[in-house]
């Protein structure tokens, strides 16, 4: 029996890399018994609109793009009464979600994984009252890097573009007096960085061990970094974060279904690598179950 497939393509992701492999991808899908219908996204949030309008008519939605494109597609799926599985062919720069799910970075191989794989649950984050994210909501040091890095630089330099932007932002690192309310308590401290994640990879650079992350347990991993007082503490923070096992006197790593951040003044957030706006009081919660993603 033929199956209906909705294909979402972000034409600017990965320097338009879909053009080099789309024929082979279509061949794989058609040979597996799918009838594809292609939709091109034209602007941020367009994938959300397309999924809401058309996904119930299909058996599966496949997203070709970066983590932001997948995030938009997942947001649309979360607003539907009848959700369908999502397949992901990563074409972005960091591809954090793909690394977490062990999806191939080669589009044709990723397509083959979709037809041979099966849907698995993936928790989705609720950022504020009605905005969704798939893998990270963060504030503080370096979070502006992910959405502040020039798009042309991302396409030309890949992950190195993030590193360059991160080094440029070093002198601007500041701390924020923060109240953090989570499932097991309340924290009051000065933090230079905070992240609510459901991923083993952040911006393609920071890795968290698989043993710390469960993408469908109904809990988020919360990483908080206190302000270092000297170069030695700064070095310990960097070592602890890059080790894959976040630890140290200035690093807090907790699990929680819901987290609320309160600041004295609005603080900028990034949400799935895009600008998440500035907030002085924001509640972030885990939607469990979230969506089904083919792995």
Q: What is the mean pLDDT of residues 220-232?
A: 84
pLDDT at position 242 is 67
pLDDT at position 164 is 42
pLDDT at position 158 is 46
**Two structure tokens written together for 280:** 């002085």
pLDDT at position 239 is 74
pLDDT at position 144 is 53
* pLDDT band for position 23 (cuts 50, 70, 90): very high
Residue 169 has pLDDT above 50, yes or no: no
pLDDT at position 153 is 47
Residue 269 has pLDDT above 60, yes or no: yes
Note the pLDDT tens digit of each residue in 101-153. 889 989 999 999 999 999 999 999 999 999 999 999 999 875 554 444 455 54
Residue 26 has pLDDT above 90, yes or no: yes
* pLDDT band for position 245 (cuts 50, 70, 90): confident
Say which residue, 114 or 160, is predicted with more confidence: 114
pLDDT at position 205 is 58
* pLDDT band for position 172 (cuts 50, 70, 90): low
Question: For residue 200, what is the DSSP state?
Answer: S
- Cβ–Cβ < 8 Å for 10, 67: no
Percentage of the residues of the chain whose pLDDT score is greater than 70: 84
pLDDT at position 229 is 76
SS3 assignment, position 180: strand
Query: Across the chain, where does the E strand assignment appear?
Result: 3-9, 34-40, 60-65, 86-90, 119-127, 131-133, 136-140, 176-182, 185-197, 201-202, 206-207, 220-226, 251-256, 258-271, 274-294
Q: In the chain, where are the structural domains located?
A: 3-117, 132-289
Note the pLDDT tens digit of each residue in 50-106. 999 999 999 999 999 988 899 999 999 999 998 899 999 998 777 788 888 889 989
CATH number of 132-289: 2.60.200.40
Residue 287 has pLDDT above 50, yes or no: yes
Note the pLDDT tens digit of each residue in 35-64. 999 999 999 999 999 999 999 999 999 999
Shortest CA distance to 143 belongs to which of 268, 247, 283?
268
Residue 199 has pLDDT above 90, yes or no: no
Q: Which residue has 């170069």 as its token pair? A: 231
* pLDDT band for position 165 (cuts 50, 70, 90): very low
pLDDT at position 247 is 74
Shortest CA distance to 74 belongs to which of 91, 57, 51, 90?
51
Classify domain 3-117 at the CATH superfamily level: Probable inorganic polyphosphate/atp-NAD kinase; domain 1 (3.40.50.10330)
């Amino acid at each position: 029996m033929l199956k209906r497939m909705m294909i979402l393509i972000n034409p600017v992701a990965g320097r338009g890399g879909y053009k080099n492999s789309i024929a082979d991808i279509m061949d794989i899908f058609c040979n597996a018994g799918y009838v594809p219908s292609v939709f091109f996204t034209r602007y941020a949030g367009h994938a959300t609109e397309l999924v809401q309008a058309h996904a119930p008519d299909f058996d599966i939605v496949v997203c070709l793009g970066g983590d932001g494109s997948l995030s938009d597609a997942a947001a649309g799926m979360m607003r539907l009464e009848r959700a369908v599985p999502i397949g992901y062919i990563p074409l972005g720069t960091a591809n954090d979600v793909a690394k977490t799910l062990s999806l191939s970075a080669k589009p044709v191989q990723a397509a083959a994984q979709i037809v041979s794989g099966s849907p698995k649950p993936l928790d989705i984050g609720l950022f504020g009252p009605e905005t969704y994210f798939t893998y990270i909501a963060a504030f503080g040091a370096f979070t502006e890097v992910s959405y502040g890095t020039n798009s042309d630089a991302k396409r030309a330099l890949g992950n190195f573009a993030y590193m360059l932007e991160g080094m440029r932002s070093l002198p601007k690192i500041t701390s924020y007096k923060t109240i953090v309310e989570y499932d097991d308590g309340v924290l009051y401290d000065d933090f230079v960085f905070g992240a609510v994640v459901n991923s083993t990879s952040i911006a393609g650079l920071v890795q968290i061990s698989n043993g710390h992350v469960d993408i469908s347990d109904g809990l988020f991993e919360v990483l908080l970094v206190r302000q270092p007082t000297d170069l030695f503490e700064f070095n310990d923070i960097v070592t602890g974060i890059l080790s894959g096992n976040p630890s140290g006197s200035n690093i807090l790593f907790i699990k929680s279904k819901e987290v609320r951040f309160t600041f004295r003044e609005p603080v900028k957030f990034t949400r799935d690598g895009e600008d998440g706006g500035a907030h002085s009081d924001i509640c972030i919660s885990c939607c469990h179950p979230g969506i089904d993603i083919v792995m």
